[in-house]
Structure 1
Amino acid sequence: MILFLLFLNIPVYKVLFRVFFVDNDDYNESIRHTFTPNIVSLFRGEYWKDRMNTARLQFFIILCVGIVVLEYLVLNKVFEILA
């Protein structure tokens, strides 16, 4: 059921993607900052930009996973009530 929900929520992920990221380059920059150590970003003068991009990516992932988990719990409860 979780795989079905993951597939079914693709339009929701696209909407959330546009809320968090302007375009694919913005997303790629967030990925780059996430995997760059903070000390390296500090020496490059991008520390706060790194922190914000990492936070945006983490919130995006948490929301996507949270939506699937919440839907799973609701559907599971509905199926319990119906059975």
Structure 2
Amino acid sequence: MSLVMIILLLFLNIPVYIFLFRVFFVDNDDYNESIRHTFTPNIISLFRGEYWKDRMNTARLQFFILICGGIVVLEYLVLHKIIDIFR
């Protein structure tokens, strides 16, 4: 039951993910740059002169993923409590 609820919440939250995507990233190129910086080692970014840009893009992507996951977890906990009340 809980796995079905989590999968359902993941799909129902797609509009929320899109809204958060627009808040965190200007466009798809900005998102792709954040992905590139996340997988580029910091020492390489340091030699390219992009160290702080790398750190900011990595943090931005991590916060985006953390908030999207946190929303699903909070909704699951609330729904689980509501289901327990009605049992």
- TM-score of the superposed pair, with normalisation by structure 2: 0.95
Q: Runs of 4+ in structure 1 displaced over 2 angstroms? A: none
| Unmatched runs of 5 consecutive residues or more in structure 2 | none
Aligned to 2:24: 20
Select the residue among 61, 65, 72 that pairs with 2:69.
65
Residues 45-67 of structure 1, C-alpha deviations (whole Å, 9 max, x = no match): 00000000000000000000000
- The unaligned stretches of length 5 or more in structure 1 are none
CA distance in 2, matches of 1:14, 1:8: 12
Q: What is the aligned residue count?
A: 83
CA RMSD of aligned residues (A): 0.2
Q: Which amino acid aligns with 2:29?
A: D
Q: CA offset at residue 34 of structure 1? A: 0.0
| Residue 31, structure 1, aligned to residue 35, structure 2 | yes
How far apart, CA to CA, are the structure 2 residues paired with 1:28 and 1:7?
23
Instruction: Give 1:14's aligned amino acid.
Output: I
State how far apart, in whole Å, the 1-side matches of 2:22 and 2:55 are: 20
